[in-house]
Amino acid sequence: MNHFGALTPRHFQVLHTIVQTYIETGEPVASRAIARKFPMSPASIRNMMADLLEEGYLSQPHTSAGRVPTERAYQSYVKTLLGSRIVQAELDRLHSLIQREGSVEGRIERSSKLLTEITRQFGIAAAIPTENQTLDQVEFLALPDRRILMVVVTRDRLVRNKVITVDDPISQDELSSIRNYINYNFGGWGLGSIHRELKRRLELESAAYDAILKRVSLFYSKGLLDLGLMPEVYFDGAENLIGLDLHLTRERMRELFRALEEKKRVLQLLERFLEPSNGELSVQVGLSDLHPSMSELSLIGVRLNLPNGLDAHVAVLGPMRMNYSRAVSAVLHVGQAFKSATM
């Protein structure tokens, strides 16, 4: 360790140059390769690399070989990229592409494809409804055999349909009156607030004489606003992981692809490693905690809280030796474009 007992800014400059060199070459990095890039002697570089090795930022595969960055080194390197600036022209371009899609589902799918196109990695985008969803409107349609189609649209533009069966026929005119009552009284309300207010109104003595409220109560009891919290998850680009030098056996590679085919597993990945901070990038290098086959993969992503009751996740999954600068830029731009197109 240097005589100050701590790593200096110059140590980290050397470290980040080693990481960048290793990403580009895939070969252990020798001190002489780094010395060419700094006005320092190879001996000074070797001393610094020894300090970095001691502190766990570098590893030495063989006695005489160069050094290889560890997960800790990648974490430090990526932090230098997190201040990347948003380029307005790129943001406008992505916003336009995402906004063309008329639904949240379409925009999420488009976002995942854009991430893959930009980074050539595994792009992931998800919209996860929360309890704070806001009602936009409902619609009812009379069907044969005393069945009714209930359609609920929330402000995040997610649409849920449900068919119920009633004991007595209800005309389309009566359904229109019920629709108007709900939309007039509760449009723009959060679902939790609607539940509480409906319960309050139904407990009033006057509710027994209110025909429309009786019908609303019937539909409510049949799950009108029980929308469920089913997330929309799209991912694209698994083929980009084929052929990468991930040091996986054939069986482990099959395990990796099976894991990435499961929406549940991908959601676990997002929920576990993306911090709930709104709009700040999260970086996780090495994902073996989630699955052994993911030990040499990195996740760069952002979690966005939208005012319409959605949590949006935008992320790129790739090898440790990926182009982090491009991945960080893509996640930042696509995340902001999705947020502005969805609000």
Residue 82 belongs to some domain of the structure: no
Residue 276 belongs to some domain of the structure: yes
When pLDDT is averaged across residues 33-59 and rounded to a whole number, the result is 89
Give the type of residue at 23.
I
Q: How far is residue 54 from each of residues 26, 83, 136, measured CA to CA in Å?
A: 22, 28, 59
What is the tally of structural domains in the chain? 3
**In the chain, what's the furthest Cα-to-Cα distance?**
92
Residue 83 belongs to some domain of the structure: no
More confident residue, 332 or 308: 332
Please write the tens of the pLDDT for every residue from 195-240: 888 888 888 877 777 888 888 888 888 888 776 656 788 999 888 8
Confidence label for 3 from pLDDT (cuts 50, 70 and 90): very low
Integer Cα distance of 32 and 278 in angstroms: 43
Domain boundary among 171, 199, 221: 221
When pLDDT is averaged across residues 43-61 and rounded to a whole number, the result is 90
More confident residue, 3 or 144: 144
pLDDT at site 293: 82
336 and 242 within one domain: yes
Q: Range of 148's domain?
A: 135-221
Question: How many residues comprise the chain?
Answer: 343
Domain boundary among 74, 96, 122: 74
Q: Name the strand (E) or helix (H) holding 59.
A: strand 58-59
Confidence label for 63 from pLDDT (cuts 50, 70 and 90): low
Contact 315, 301 (CB under 8 A): yes
121 and 252 within one domain: yes
Task: Please state which of the ranges 163-167, 233-237, 248-252 shows the lowest mean pLDDT.
Answer: 248-252
Percent of the chain with pLDDT over 70: 91
Confidence label for 5 from pLDDT (cuts 50, 70 and 90): low
Integer Cα distance of 60 and 68 in angstroms: 6
Six token digits for residue 36: 């060419």
Residue 79 belongs to some domain of the structure: no
pLDDT at site 128: 79
Confidence label for 21 from pLDDT (cuts 50, 70 and 90): very high
Please write the tens of the pLDDT for every residue from 73-124: 998 898 888 777 888 999 999 999 999 987 778 889 999 999 999 999 999 9
120 and 142 within one domain: no
Give the mean pLDDT of the chain.
85
Residue 140 belongs to some domain of the structure: yes
246 and 101 within one domain: yes
CA end-to-end span of the chain: 52
Integer Cα distance of 284 and 300 in angstroms: 7
pLDDT at site 4: 44
